[in-house]
Structure formats: C-alpha cells, structure tokens
C-alpha cells in the first residue's frame, strides 16, 4: 500500500500520531466503504427488498472469504473491545455514522426504532460472520451463513414484521 502511494514506511507513518490513530482511521474508512457499497447495492429498491439484499451481501461466501474487503466489525470482532477507551469512542462515532447512513433500510416508524434494529441486526450478522470464519469446515460455514440469511430476512424483511413499511 505504501509503495503504491509512493511513500516510504517513515513517510507513511508520519501522517499518523500513533498506531491507534492509524487503526482508527482504517476502521472508519472500512466502515464508510461498506456503507457506500450497500448504498450502491440498494439504490432504487423498495426497503424490504433492499435490506434483504444487504443481508445476503453481508452473509455471503464472498464476504466470508475476503475479510479485508468487508465489514470492520466482522473482521476485527473481539479486538475492538480491547481497544483503549479513546479509540473505542472514535470507532463508535464511525459505527453511528454507518447506522445513520443505513437508517433508510431498517424497519420502524421512528428513528429510535430503526436505530434499535440496526443495533441488533448488524452486530448479530457480524457475529454470524465471525463464527463462520472460525469453523474449518466449509459445509459448517455455509450452514451458518445460510441460517443467518434466512433468520434475519424473515425477522427484518418478512411480512410478519408489522413495523416494516414497504415502499
């Protein structure tokens, strides 16, 4: 990455106060990148269909095999909880900005209901992804992803969810 940017190691690290700032900015950038992918994926779709597509995208074989290209929450998992408090604060800001950008996808008639949905859905999908990555068996990985997709699509996108206003 440094070579591609035309920088030496010293020149690269000079742009950051310390390794925590580098990690914080990398996480924020990764979260923003995924949000941009999701926005492009869901453009012009009705809300339930868009969210179903996001769930399928998130719990996909491609995301499983390429953690460096996907969600920072799923890639870093428990490591985020071990970060210093100041760093957690900055990561929290990035996650809140992610929730704000994806508000249009979630069920609920108020911003508070939609935020509650985000706070359940996205960490739970990250947990499914972390668990799938932990298994050595491809069959078990696919089983976790498939079960997660089915569960979350039914819970958040199905007709049984009365708070989901289809547009």
Distance separating alpha carbons of residues 124 and 15, to the nearest angstrom: 34
Q: Is residue 112 part of a domain?
A: yes
Query: Of 128, 103, 111, nearest to 39 (Cα)?
Result: 103
**Containing domain of residue 128, as a range?**
16-157
Residue, of 70 and 6, whose pLDDT is higher: 70
Distance separating alpha carbons of residues 36 and 3, to the nearest angstrom: 26
Residue 98 scores a pLDDT above 70: yes
| Percent of the chain whose predicted confidence (pLDDT) is above 70 | 83
Distance separating alpha carbons of residues 65 and 149, to the nearest angstrom: 17
Q: What is the domain count for the chain? A: 1
Fill in the DSSP letter of residue 135: -
The pTM assigned to this predicted structure is 0.79
Residue whose tokens read 């039914």: 154
Q: Is residue 25 part of a domain?
A: yes
CATH number at 62 reads 1.10.357.10
Q: What is the mean pLDDT of residues 149-162?
A: 82
**pLDDT of amino acid 84:** 81
Q: What is the mean pLDDT of residues 15-19?
A: 64
Q: Is residue 64 part of a domain?
A: yes
Query: CA separation (Å) from 47 to 7, 66, 77, 152?
Result: 43, 27, 28, 14
When the pLDDT of each residue in the chain is averaged and rounded to a whole number, the result is 83
pLDDT tier for residue 162 given thresholds of 50, 70 and 90: very low
Q: Is residue 2 part of a domain?
A: no
pLDDT tier for residue 122 given thresholds of 50, 70 and 90: very high
**pLDDT of amino acid 2:** 55
Q: Is residue 140 part of a domain?
A: yes
Q: What is the mean pLDDT of residues 142-159?
A: 94
The string of DSSP codes covering 65-112 is H-GGGS-HHHHHGGGGGGS-HHHHHHHHHHHHHHHHHTGGGS--SSHH
Would you say how long the chain is, in residues? Answer: 167
**pLDDT of amino acid 9:** 56
Residue 163 CB partners (closer than 8 Å, separation 6+):
107, 108, 109, 113
Q: Is residue 144 part of a domain?
A: yes
Q: Is residue 1 part of a domain?
A: no
Residue, of 141 and 84, whose pLDDT is higher: 141
- pLDDT tens string 29-51: 777 787 788 888 889 999 999 99
Residue 152 CB partners (closer than 8 Å, separation 6+):
55, 59, 121, 124, 125
Q: Is residue 109 part of a domain?
A: yes
């Amino acid at each position: 990455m440094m070579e591609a940017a035309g920088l030496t190691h010293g020149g690269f690290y000079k742009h950051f106060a310390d390794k925590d700032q580098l990690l914080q900015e990398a996480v924020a950038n990764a979260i923003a990148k995924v949000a941009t992918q999701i926005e492009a994926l869901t453009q012009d779709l009705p809300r339930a269909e868009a969210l179903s597509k996001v769930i399928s995208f998130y719990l996909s074989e491609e995301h499983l095999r390429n953690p460096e290209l996907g969600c920072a929450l799923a890639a870093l998992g428990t490591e985020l909880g071990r970060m210093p408090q100041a760093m957690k604060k900055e990561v929290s800001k990035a996650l809140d900005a992610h929730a704000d950008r994806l508000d249009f996808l979630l069920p609920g008639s108020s911003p508070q209901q939609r935020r509650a949905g985000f706070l359940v859905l996205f960490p739970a999908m990250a947990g499914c992804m972390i668990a799938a990555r932990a298994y050595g068996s491809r069959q078990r990985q696919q089983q976790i992803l498939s079960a997660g997709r089915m569960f979350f699509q039914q819970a958040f996108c199905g007709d049984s969810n009365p708070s989901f206003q289809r547009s």
